[in-house]
A and B are shown apart, each in its own frame.
Chain A
């Protein structure tokens, strides 16, 4: 089974549009939206949800006002500025302490040192994940709760469910839409993947951000491909991007020209290839042919694209609340 992850470093580089377009030519595959805190792939594929599951991450502290004596120990020990002295009174004290759930990181220190056992510590609902059907095959996606933590852990859950779905339906390719940045959800998206496709625009920030995410992929031993999006906006920077890629052993997957059809497809809730045969669509087909070659070439050297968290080759790096 092969897992292709689209990342960019910088946001808004065209990851989702490119991934959706690739899904149109890839044939039978599983789609996975790993950008769990701002998921957009469902807007293109209008998935019919066939299975949904709650996702609970770590625990969160909650002070029970009836039992709080306002001693202030919790506030003193909390490293995350999550304790505020603005809870309701309870007859014994006019004001109690309160936990700001958006700041609580679930360390449990306040719980352990509360003399009154006044702090509840329950698993927090962090979001939901879904297995769905779309016109391009099954899709696994998620919605992170507002202000919830653990996006990396939810990404891992989405990838796991995508792998199980692929296995069940005997599909050998997963296309993952990755999040922007280089932090925990990106690490969770890339760890153990077969191939990373970097979608980058020829801008100074695109170049800067590409360098960092390429370094990350290299550290995680994920081979990469570069597709320059809107390549004709700046020829010099496009060449710089490609030179940097070659230097780092990243394969050039081609250039996708600027094309208004990309926005038009998004407005219509379609993939680019469903509405257009213009320059960008042709660029995508070119990218796909190279991606396919690389996936095949990788097949010889890599037996499985399953998440290999925990094996010796991919040292686990994670902000998850569990050791995997």
Chain B
């Protein structure tokens, strides 16, 4: 129901801000037609209307930033542009001509290149070989590759980007930022005219980011159009000639740089005034169940966190800010380099299995790979973490396991034919409930929930919220990671906000708002 009203809001908003093509022209761009146009793209998946009539104009030599929260439809949009998904409605134009992009190969042929967050370099080929992978024929002489010519060509491309990398270096020896640059070089060598970058700075340092921005500036000088996906306000305002904000699969607004303030953009991403959130009933937490002080790992710096019994604590931040790494370190899944973690008042619980037995539970982000044994049945999955507790002698009783599992199925309302149904045949929401059942059976008292409602339907979502309430009422401590800010604000008593692998803020009570979180998370 809420969705309906929100949509109407949006419609009004959009009609105000997207006068298609007329007022929006970048100062630097030519007065002629856009290089790339997406017109009225609509895409639905079962249960989700992922893209709603999205139109986008991208001009040569311009950086077009697409801004939006998780689930706003950015990645669906890219995949449609790249031919990985077929749009239900709408079409793509290049230089005014309608084109068909049915496969990634079509996109490449049209000069559209995408640099995903997962790179596609071959670790033990060198930079030149990677750039020209699959196109070595251009350098072949008598069946042998003219290595010198290939390296020279690679050199030219890298020089054009102002990169001094040794073209003989293996991709495996490059850092993330360097790999990204090689991906860019690879795209350019294929004469890409539109370069899509999916959160390119998510995994690289600030100095490396500066390098990337310089490269982007060079590319725009060469009339390459950049479609730049990001959450980071600083980058958006620095780079973006044109900024399009997506929310819930629809274009909220499309503006030129400086037409909107950062606050206005954050507001547009959230989509409703920040006062409209539901009132939380204040809880009265008890003793600390977890105390982490100055924890450092390979991926985290100085993490200090306190979780009390009977409260829900949020862990907010952008994707890649280190939230998952924090819960993994607390759980004992990743080694910590320094710092201390006290669980239920004890520092002695060093290994993961001892922490589980002490009452710690992790609901991983990727439940299929890390939470469940998909080919096994509900009973196997629901009992795996509590075998030590339910069968202290080491003897397993199928009858008891059966009883326990039925109790859990009833308690959580898992929609399964029975206890022996394979979990891979369950829906996402029911799979998630099986993971929760596993930890309820283990009698856990501290729950680390990493994106607990991702990929589950609305009904299951509400049940998961209700369950979290029950857990907390029963005296458990709960940590929730979520990219959905309304969810976080609604669920949590307080929240730590992360950025660049450290905790940058702590919000509680009335301070805990979507806007406050976003401002801390996106920085400046």
Are A and B interaction partners? Answer: no
Which residues of B are in contact with A by a Cβ distance under 8 Å?
none
Which residues of A are in contact with B by a Cβ distance under 8 Å?
none
